[in-house]
Chain A
Amino acid sequence: MNEHPSFAAWEENVLKKVLERTPERAKEFVTDSGLPIERLALPETVDEKYLTKLGFPGQYPFTRGVHPTMYRGRLWTMRQYAGFSSAEDSNKRYRYLLEQGTTGLSVAFDLPTQIGYDSDHPLSCGEVGRVGVAIDTLADLEALFTGIPVDKVSTSMTINAPAAVLLAMYVVVGEKQGVKPAQLMGTIQNDILKEYIARGTYIFPPRPSLRLTTDIFAWCSKETPQFNTISISGYHIREAGSTAIQEIAYTLANGCTYVQAAIDAGLDVDVFAPRLAFFFNASPDLFEEVAKFRAARRLWARFMKERFHAQKPASQTLRFHTQTAGYSLTAQQIDNNIVRVTLQALAAVLGGTQSLHTNSRDEAFGLPTENSVRTSLRTQQIIACESGVCNTVDPLAGSYFIEDLTDRIEREALTLIEEIDRMGGMIAAIESGVVQRQIELSAFRYQQQIDRGERTIVGVNCFQEPEKVFPQTFRVGKAVEENQIKRLHEIRKKRDNGKVKKNLADLEEAARGKENVMPFIVEAVRCYTSIGEICDALRGVFGIYEERKGF
């Protein structure tokens, strides 16, 4: 064992507490041949350099992970992103996934919901229930969670511009199940900056959007202290074509923007920062990805401590969800995608992810079938239960290659973040289009490399085969839109429309002033005001965002 006093201090102050609270999964971990596996492999001598760069898991700068025992204590949350057509259909899929062993839910909403339009809005035509579940009012969210105890299951919701509305609905669904807001666990994505950069489901301009974000931070720290108030997402930046370095640089720069906005709004960093979560992509380049996750943790810890003066360790930890790379899936020889996903999932686990979504083999064509979803979940379970990689903390640490790569990615990302600082911060950088253009250039280069054969993609530009069959894809029926509109119209007739009007007027007034809008949104959803009506009220006050053109 290691002699350095800092090791004993870590064991005493960090490890012991966690072991008392969460014992490890086994008394002893051994290799297949029966060799005991140490919790934490260390260099022969722990010196100052080691402590500054790596430290111990669960301790600053968290390079080796956010928990002292990592997966020896608890495996990551296996969280498959799902949702389609009506709330009833999605509810069935969630129950199926829970039966199959997923340990958290991840809700996909359709595009009208994500952009704050009701299902009967002209722009919703053809889009209702397509890429996710359609939610118009509280009634839909009630149906979505029928038979799912929200005090037992943590729920992640991919919702950004109208995040406040869905959070409010979830809180009321909880109340109706007899669950207090303080017991709710889960995450709202609520990361608007990357919507302007890469994902496209924005509604309002950046500045009022940031005010909504900080209102949510403030409200949640009092009402839903176990809920992650944001999932600062590099995933979509990467999917749009960025490099690994750009992915973490822009994501952390977005993170800094939120933290600064919240501090400027008068919030205490150590109150809101522990509820910030992150979301990254696991791409094909295995070692670069592992190094990326480690570098991101170290960079964020430094930002939180040095730039924002966060004191609590929980404020300095970068906890993240990972999804395997959608862009890497090929339409050719689709079974190969299972292997790609396995490698990417492994990168996420070796990088210390807190939760993981594995993509399905047929997702180059559309939503996955139930069979493909099962295989992708099994992939995680095989890594977790059979591969042995979960039996020690941060197994690649100390590799000359991985440590050097981690250092270099950190340095390069920091350079990009400093460039954004010099441009006057992320909002200015987004408004000027610089960030979007950098990502587009990376995407263009990547595709050119494939087209020219400089980058090998198996089955695409080498080892090709004639494709015989096209996979059966999952289809959302046409009746969904009609039924959804019918249900919405019935609710509009049944509800107390006087109350709806009054709540909307109150919300508008709060939005015009400085009051936190969350309580007003909760009251509005409680009387079945629709997401479109709430967002329209806010559009009236905040205006709408117009995208920069060009490519």
Chain B
Amino acid sequence: MEAGQRRGRVLIGKVGLDGHDRGAKFIARSLRDDGFEVIYTGIRHTPEEIASVAVQEDVDAIGISLLSGAHNELIPAMIHALCQADAGDIPVIVGGAIPQEDISYLKDKGVCEVLTTGTPTQTILDVFRMVANEYRQKKHTYE
């Protein structure tokens, strides 16, 4: 079995104008080392662009890193774009500088997990494993 098939395909992306990509690149590399197939978008993408790549690549989870404070606008916009493409069930994980009081808002909007600054790498990997695995099983049942 290919390494990428063992744990699934995930998209790691940056949405909006924020250029801080140290965290996103670190997570991308860590996920790859953990057996995921990782599609990394690079910086400065619109919510719609990220959603469209996620659909095209048929990913099992989307991880978005944001440090600019624009998450309350951009993340719901991306989930909306996913829903428009009939892909609203792809799990979305948000990481970065997200104030505690915004977490429930993002979860209401459909975010599956928010991993803020200081989260240990192993926790992040565990969340991706669990979420991607669940989604793959669900997908499999549909097929």
* Residues of chain A at the chain B interface (Cβ within 8 Å): 111-112, 114-115, 117, 122-127, 130-131, 195, 199-201, 239-241, 327, 330-332, 364-367, 440, 443-444, 447, 451, 460, 470, 473, 475-476, 547-551
With contact pairs A111-B16, A127-B68, A551-B25 given, residues A200 and B121 touching in the complex (Cβ less than 8 Å) = no
**Residue of B at shortest CB range from A202?**
B19
Residues of A within 8 A of B118 (CB): 330-332, 364, 460
Residues of A within 8 A of B21 (CB): 200, 240
List of 10 A-B pairs having minimum Cβ-Cβ separation, nearest first = A200-B19, A126-B73, A331-B118, A126-B70, A111-B17, A130-B69, A331-B117, A470-B100, A551-B25, A551-B28
Distance between B44 CB and nearest chain A CB, rounded to angstroms: 7
Distance between A27 CB and nearest chain B CB, rounded to angstroms: 48
| Contact among B26, B38, B43 for A443, CB-based, below 8 A | B26
Question: Is the CB of B74 closer than 8 A to any CB of chain A?
Answer: yes
Distance between A445 CB and nearest chain B CB, rounded to angstroms: 10
Distance between B81 CB and nearest chain A CB, rounded to angstroms: 13
With contact pairs A130-B68, A444-B29, A551-B29 given, residues A239 and B40 touching in the complex (Cβ less than 8 Å) = no
Q: Is the CB of B69 within 8 A of A131?
A: yes
Q: Is the CB of B42 within 8 A of A547?
A: yes
Bound CA span A440–B29, Å: 10
Distance between A501 CB and nearest chain B CB, rounded to angstroms: 28
Bound CA span A301–B130, Å: 55
Distance between A1 CB and nearest chain B CB, rounded to angstroms: 50
9 contacts between A and B (CB under 8 A): A123-B16, A125-B70, A125-B77, A126-B70, A195-B19, A200-B21, A200-B44, A447-B121, A549-B40
Distance between B71 CB and nearest chain A CB, rounded to angstroms: 8
Residues of B within 8 A of A470 (CB): 99-100
Q: Is the CB of A444 within 8 A of B26?
A: yes
Question: Is the CB of B112 closer than 8 A to any CB of chain A?
Answer: no
What string of 1s and 0s marks CB contacts (under 8 Å) between B18-33 and chain A? 1111100110110000
Distance between A539 CB and nearest chain B CB, rounded to angstroms: 14
With contact pairs A123-B46, A365-B97, A473-B99 given, residues A201 and B19 touching in the complex (Cβ less than 8 Å) = yes
* Residues of chain B at the chain A interface (Cβ within 8 Å): 16-22, 25-26, 28-29, 38, 40-44, 46, 68-70, 72-74, 77, 97, 99-100, 116-118, 120-122
Q: Is the CB of B43 within 8 A of A200?
A: yes
Bound CA span A402–B25, Å: 34
Residues of B within 8 A of A475 (CB): 99
Bound CA span A125–B25, Å: 24
Distance between A96 CB and nearest chain B CB, rounded to angstroms: 21
Q: Is the CB of A123 within 8 A of B26?
A: no
Residues of B within 8 A of A240 (CB): 21-22
Q: Is the CB of A365 within 8 A of B117?
A: yes
Q: Is the CB of A123 within 8 A of B17?
A: yes
With contact pairs A130-B68, A330-B118 given, residues A550 and B44 touching in the complex (Cβ less than 8 Å) = no
Q: Is the CB of B117 within 8 A of A127?
A: no
Bound CA span A115–B44, Å: 10
| Contact among B26, B41, B77, B116 for A331, CB-based, below 8 A | B116
Q: Is the CB of A131 within 8 A of B19?
A: no
Q: Is the CB of A112 within 8 A of B17?
A: yes
Q: Is the CB of A476 within 8 A of B17?
A: no
**Residue of B at shortest CB range from A199?**
B19
Residues of A within 8 A of B74 (CB): 125-126
In the complex, which of the residues B17, B19, B22, B100 has the most CB atoms of chain A within 10 Å of its own CB atom?
Answer: B17
Residues of A within 8 A of B73 (CB): 125-126
In addition to A200-B21, A365-B97, A447-B121, 11 A-B residue pairs with Cβ atoms within 8 Å of each other are A112-B17, A117-B17, A122-B46, A125-B70, A130-B68, A130-B69, A200-B19, A200-B20, A444-B26, A447-B26, A549-B40
Residues of A within 8 A of B121 (CB): 447, 451
With contact pairs A111-B16, A126-B72 given, residues A364 and B26 touching in the complex (Cβ less than 8 Å) = no
Q: Is the CB of A364 within 8 A of B25?
A: no
Q: Is the CB of A364 within 8 A of B46?
A: no
With contact pairs A127-B70, A331-B116 given, residues A111 and B18 touching in the complex (Cβ less than 8 Å) = yes
Q: Is the CB of A366 within 8 A of B99?
A: yes
With contact pairs A131-B68, A364-B117, A547-B42 given, residues A239 and B22 touching in the complex (Cβ less than 8 Å) = yes
Bound CA span A102–B97, Å: 27
Q: Is the CB of A126 within 8 A of B22?
A: no
